[in-house]
């Protein structure tokens, strides 16, 4: 039987879902608004899969495996999610088992940033490179892919560099520490330094004002870029990944972000022969605006777990082994 693999990226405002063919190309996609809360999240995921099934004219239960990417703390083994604040899920949610029960398919749940790292590697043709995906959105976090696999670490915290404190006198972070990198290099940090008017995204407003020559905007933008560059440096110095791919909501400003970060990396290396040898400016990339990297990565996470025999349905029903 032909494998049909789906990936569902459940974000705070929208659900993006894709079907991958045997060559890992996207052959169908669906976009829906997210219903918030535990039941809403499960319903949104199930609805996305039903619509995908309709598009390619199969039944929901015909999917070989479904990978789901969600924000928050994910226990990949059990498919449980907690602290998914953006989704209105404060406590624990048995997302994998619940979706699997409703749809009759094996479901694998992965943290959205870690899934997006796999998706970025695939979409940028970097499957063989060690790569970090740096998500610059409401918060700041990285997903690491080494040897073709997502690095989770002992407690799933690998890549949580947004909570490295760089200024003990800095602003209080939502994690309870002071001066975390995330309080300087995130969409939230931009919104605090450059509150936008008229409902425009603060990052877009800031970069437009800076491009138009507003000197205060240039300062705020360059300080922000300096901190993103610090995050890039941190990732390379801890993991020596070949490429750091910038993604997340802030990258919707386009190539201007990459340009500023590259300039910041060049500035930082100008006085350090050590940093200069690492050639950081050449090792940063940005995901194309509007790419389905999160959903593609979720599908790949699902496929990887399915191949290794580690899915919610298999654990709950050892006798049922779909082809």
Residues in contact with Zn ion by the rule CB under 5 A? 163, 173, 175, 177, 180
Give min distance, CB of 163 to Zn ion, in A.
4
Residue with Cβ nearer Zn ion (132 or 141): 141
Give min distance, CB of 186 to Zn ion, in A.
10
Which residues in 26-54 are b (16+ Cβ under 10 Å) and which e?
Answer: bebbbebebbeebeebbbbbbbbbebbbe
Residue with Cβ nearer Zn ion (166 or 263): 166
Residue with Cβ nearer Zn ion (173 or 232): 173
Residue with Cβ nearer Zn ion (165 or 266): 165
CA distance from start to end of the chain: 7
Give min distance, CB of 134 to Zn ion, in A.
16
Sign of the CA dihedral with 25 first, then 66, 161, and 255 last: positive
**For tokens 């390379």, what's the residue?**
236
DSSP letter string over 57-126? Answer: T--GGG-SEEEEEESSEEETTTTEEE-BGGGTB-S-B-HHHHHHHHHTS-EEEEEHHHHHHHHHHHHTT-
d(CA 107, CA 247): 25
Give min distance, CB of 142 to Zn ion, in A.
14
Give min distance, CB of 170 to Zn ion, in A.
10
Give min distance, CB of 165 to Zn ion, in A.
7
Give min distance, CB of 231 to Zn ion, in A.
13
Give min distance, CB of 114 to Zn ion, in A.
18
Residue with Cβ nearer Zn ion (7 or 143): 143
Instruction: Show Cβ contacts of residue 121 under 8 Å, excluding neighbours closer than 6 positions.
Output: 127, 129, 131, 145, 148
Contact 88, 46 (CB under 8 A): no
Residue with Cβ nearer Zn ion (53 or 173): 173
Structure tokens given for 103:
């749809």
Phi-psi region of 279 (alpha: psi -120 to 50; beta: other; left: phi over 0): left
Biggest CA–CA distance in the chain, Å, is 66
Residue with Cβ nearer Zn ion (51 or 177): 177
Structure tokens given for 169:
């006198």
Residue with Cβ nearer Zn ion (175 or 204): 175
């Amino acid at each position: 039987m032909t494998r049909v693999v789906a990936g569902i990226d459940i974000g705070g405002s929208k659900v993006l879902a894709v079907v991958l063919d045997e060559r890992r190309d996207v052959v169908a996609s669906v976009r829906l608004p997210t219903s918030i809360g535990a039941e809403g999240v499960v319903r949104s995921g199930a609805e996305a899969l039903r619509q995908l099934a309709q598009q390619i004219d199969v039944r929901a239960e015909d999917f070989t495996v479904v990978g789901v990417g969600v924000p928050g703390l994910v226990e990949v083994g059990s498919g449980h999610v907690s602290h998914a604040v953006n989704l209105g899920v404060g406590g624990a949610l048995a997302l994998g088992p619940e979706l699997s029960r409703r749809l009759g398919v094996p479901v694998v749940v992965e943290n959205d940033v870690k899934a997006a790292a796999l998706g970025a590697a695939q979409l940028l043709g970097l499957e063989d490179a060690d790569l970090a995906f740096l998500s610059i959105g409401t918060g700041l976090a990285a997903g690491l892919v080494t040897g073709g696999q997502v690095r989770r670490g002992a407690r799933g915290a690998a890549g949580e560099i947004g909570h490295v404190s760089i200024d003990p006198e800095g602003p209080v972070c939502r994690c309870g520490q002071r001066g975390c990198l995330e309080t300087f290099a995130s969409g939230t940090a931009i919104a605090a330094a450059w509150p936008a008017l008229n409902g425009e995204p603060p990052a877009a407003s800031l970069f437009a004002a800076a491009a138009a020559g507003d000197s205060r905007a240039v300062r705020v933008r360059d300080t922000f870029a300096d901190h993103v560059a610090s995050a890039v440096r941190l990732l390379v110095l801890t993991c020596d990944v070949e490429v750091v791919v910038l993604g997340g909501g802030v990258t919707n400003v386009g190539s201007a972000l990459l340009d500023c970060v590259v300039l910041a990396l060049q500035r930082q290396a100008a006085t350090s022969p050590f940093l200069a040898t690492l050639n950081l400016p050449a090792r940063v990339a940005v995901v194309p605006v509007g790419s389905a990297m999160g959903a593609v990565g979720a599908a790949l996470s699902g496929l990887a777990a399915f191949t290794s025999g580690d899915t919610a349905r298999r654990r709950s029903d050892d006798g049922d082994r779909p082809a």
